[in-house]
Chain A
Amino acid sequence: MSGRGMVLRASRYAVLIVMALATLFPLLWVTSIAFMRSPERFAGTPPLWPDHPTLVNMVNIVHQQRIGHYFLNSLIVAAATTPLSVLVAGLAGYALAQAKFRGHRLVSWVVMFAVLVPNQALVLPLFEMFSAVHLVNHYAALVLPAAANAVSIVLIQAYARAIPKDILDAARIDGASEWRTFFSVVVPLMAPMLAAVAVLTFVVSWNDFMWPMIAMQKVDMQTLPVALASIDREHYQNIGLMAAGATVAILPMMLVFLASQRYYLRAVSAGSVTD
């Protein structure tokens, strides 16, 4: 490699490292604060590193604050939402991209338009609807509205357009039904985008705050972000406790992302369907 190439490479890595550190820094700091003894002592900014690392905040958040319970609620909701939402978006996105049915243009526009509607605007009508069918305080109140996500549909629709029509026709001539074609041919071809949408859905569901706060009025049914917010209100001076909660809350997202990053990266780097 030439000297010039080396310099170029080095500077590229330097930039990437700086960006990675800038992204990681807050995460690491929060994690570090979670292990600080009585951090409420700190008047201003907490230090970067604990003098005497301790598990007291972790024990507190798990035992006294029952964070495991809320964690489980969040997990149930996200785990139910993700596959359902990916399935719905997969079917809808594929149909809108490849099937010619009466009114498909209109439906596409409606979905596009739905992307622009802010979630906050939906809270009131959703509450009316779920009260009417007595599903407030049920997991279904969080899962069902998230099952059809306009952003996911639009992402998948764009991706599904790249599937060559001949491949679908080949499957039909091979004797596959529409369902078989979808599951045996379309889903594998869209796997990178489906994985990306799954991660996105999981993260959005996991972080969602406003609608879960309103839909889950029973404390026992609350999700993690809502629960953390009320812990914050009670113990607003205890940064260590909050940091411990946040650290626990981040974990599953890290795991989901690590498990799917291979697919995820393929989708966002816009690899084509057919290599």
Chain B
Amino acid sequence: MARLELQRVTKSLANGQRVLRDIDCAVNDGELISMVGPSGCGKSTLLRCIAGLEAITSGEIRIGEQRVNDLPPRQRNVAMVFQNHALYPHMTVYQNLAFGLRVRHVARAAVDARVRRTAARLGLDALLGRYPRELSGGQRQRTALGRAMLREPGVFLLDEPLSSLDIPLRAEMRRELSALHQSLGTTMVYVTHDQSEALSLGQRVVVLADGAIEQIDTPDGIYQAPRNRFVAGFVGWPPMNFLSEDWLHDTGLDTQCIEYGIRPERLRLRPGARGDFSIIGKLERIESFGGEWQVEISRQGSRVIARVPPETKLQRGAELRLWFRREDLYAFDRATGSRMQAWR
């Protein structure tokens, strides 16, 4: 178990592209932190740098108070789970699990005991003799997890480990992972491009964009108090509505220098208190999610989505008015994109 600290970590490629820019972040001992950002923002590169698979250009990486910049992967006390599992195809599950210990010259009996204990914990006991190609997606995933767990690393790195699974399995594995983290108590860095996964799994969430950190906070903090327009738009599903001027004519709000956003679940079909704002547009689309509907209204080409309780009277093509409280609006400086804290 170990604390992980990144100080002004920068990585440039040979062609001059800056893949990571001034990454500053500390992961506490035993913490599960998730890192999320759009595809290509540098998440995998950051994990590979932490693992020692790639060198950083400048900055410092510390694992358990030791500077590891110049250490090869095997001396960093990290384990990694790869997106496509990266199991050794020519080895059985048992051999896959045991490889890391065999390489480190752990005695055969000790290896056997640890492999069997980990396999039992992950429900792999009956599969030890199988080859990866004979496993289902979930079983492969467990094997990859087991291989990483077995070495009892100081830091556990996971690079989109669930993205190759189908959706129900993904939810199940997510719960398992969370339980696993609680019982192991190992420091974990969980990378994903799926914001809902990041929020539900991480004790804290790091939002990355274009190689730089946009925000680090708890899931609730990220959701409720995004630091800027990017984070606000990236976190939450459906994404926050950004209201162009057309929507806000009659509210008297300053739309010159400020851009406003509202989360879909904050829009309502009926007015609440006096002084609530409203927007009006043509009802374009109704999508039912059982207990909840998503409705989309449009006005001069711009669209707003709301999550509302089912309402049979709604008619597609008709005008629909949606209400919201003034304090539910988010305000962003148009020039810098940062959120104006004073608004609320």
Residues of A within 8 A of B (CB): 164, 166-167, 169-177, 180, 184-185, 188-189, 191, 273-275
B103 and A169 contacting across the interface, CB-CB below 8 Å = no
User: Given the complex, which residues of B lie within 8 Å of A164, measured CB to CB?
Assistant: 84, 86
B73 and A274 contacting across the interface, CB-CB below 8 Å = no
User: Given the complex, which residues of B lie within 8 Å of A177, measured CB to CB?
Assistant: 74
Number of CB contacts from chain A to chain B under 8 A: 65
Interface SS majority for chain A: helix
A191→B103 CA distance, assembly (Å): 21
Q: Determine whether B277 belongs to the interface, using a CB cutoff of 8 Å to chain A.
A: no
Residues of B within 8 A of A (CB): 48, 51, 53, 72-74, 78-80, 82-84, 86-90, 99-100, 103-104, 133, 147, 151
A170 and B82 contacting across the interface, CB-CB below 8 Å = yes
A10→B80 CA distance, assembly (Å): 53
B90 and A188 contacting across the interface, CB-CB below 8 Å = yes
Across the interface, B89 reaches (CB within 8 A) one of A172, A173, A175, A273, namely: A273
Across the interface, B74 reaches (CB within 8 A) one of A172, A184, A185, A189, namely: A172
Q: Which residue of chain A lies nearest to B76 when distances are taken between CB atoms in the complex?
A: A173
Residue of A164, A171, A173, A189 with most partner-chain B CB within 10 A: A173
- Would you give the shortest CB distance from A272 to chain B, in whole angstroms? 10
A176→B74 CA distance, assembly (Å): 7
Across the interface, B151 reaches (CB within 8 A) one of A166, A174, A176, A180, namely: A174
A175→B72 CA distance, assembly (Å): 9
User: Given the complex, which residues of A lie within 8 Å of B48, measured CB to CB?
Assistant: 169
A188→B99 CA distance, assembly (Å): 14
A184 and B99 contacting across the interface, CB-CB below 8 Å = yes
A167 and B86 contacting across the interface, CB-CB below 8 Å = yes
B89 and A169 contacting across the interface, CB-CB below 8 Å = no
User: Given the complex, which residues of B lie within 8 Å of A174, measured CB to CB?
Assistant: 74, 99-100, 103, 147, 151
User: Given the complex, which residues of A lie within 8 Å of B90, measured CB to CB?
Assistant: 185, 188-189, 191
User: Given the complex, which residues of A lie within 8 Å of B147, measured CB to CB?
Assistant: 170, 174
Across the interface, A180 reaches (CB within 8 A) one of B51, B53, B80, B103, namely: B103
Q: Which residue of chain B lies nearest to A275 when distances are taken between CB atoms in the complex?
A: B133
Q: Which residue of chain B lies nearest to A170 when distances are taken between CB atoms in the complex?
A: B86
Can you list 20 pairs linking A and B with CB atoms under 8 Å apart?
A: A166-B84, A167-B86, A167-B88, A169-B48, A169-B73, A169-B80, A170-B80, A170-B82, A171-B88, A173-B78, A174-B74, A174-B100, A174-B103, A174-B151, A175-B74, A175-B104, A184-B99, A184-B103, A185-B88, A189-B89
User: Given the complex, which residues of B lie within 8 Å of A172, measured CB to CB?
Assistant: 53, 72-74
A167→B104 CA distance, assembly (Å): 18
User: Given the complex, which residues of A lie within 8 Å of B99, measured CB to CB?
Assistant: 171, 174, 176, 184
Across the interface, B83 reaches (CB within 8 A) one of A166, A175, A176, A191, namely: A166
Q: Which residue of chain B lies nearest to A163 when distances are taken between CB atoms in the complex?
A: B89
Q: Which residue of chain B lies nearest to A100 when distances are taken between CB atoms in the complex?
A: B14
Across the interface, B103 reaches (CB within 8 A) one of A166, A175, A275, namely: A175
User: Given the complex, which residues of B lie within 8 Å of A180, measured CB to CB?
Assistant: 103
A169 and B53 contacting across the interface, CB-CB below 8 Å = yes
A173 and B79 contacting across the interface, CB-CB below 8 Å = yes
- Nearest 5 CB-CB pairs, A to B? A166-B86, A174-B100, A175-B74, A188-B90, A170-B86
A184→B73 CA distance, assembly (Å): 18
Q: With A166-B84, A170-B82 as given contacts, are A275 and B72 in contact (CB-CB < 8 Å)?
A: no
User: Given the complex, which residues of B lie within 8 Å of A184, measured CB to CB?
Assistant: 99, 103
A166→B83 CA distance, assembly (Å): 9
Across the interface, A275 reaches (CB within 8 A) one of B73, B83, B89, B100, namely: B89
Q: Which residue of chain B lies nearest to A166 when distances are taken between CB atoms in the complex?
A: B86
Q: With A169-B53, A172-B53, A176-B74 as given contacts, are A274 and B89 in contact (CB-CB < 8 Å)?
A: yes
A189→B89 CA distance, assembly (Å): 8
Residue of A177, A184, A188, A273 with most partner-chain B CB within 10 A: A184
A175 and B86 contacting across the interface, CB-CB below 8 Å = no
A172→B75 CA distance, assembly (Å): 10
A25→B90 CA distance, assembly (Å): 40
- Please give 19 more A-B residue pairs, beta carbons under 8 A apart, in addition to A175-B100, A177-B74: A169-B73, A170-B86, A170-B87, A171-B99, A172-B53, A172-B72, A172-B73, A172-B74, A173-B53, A173-B73, A173-B79, A174-B74, A175-B104, A185-B90, A188-B90, A189-B90, A273-B89, A274-B89, A275-B89
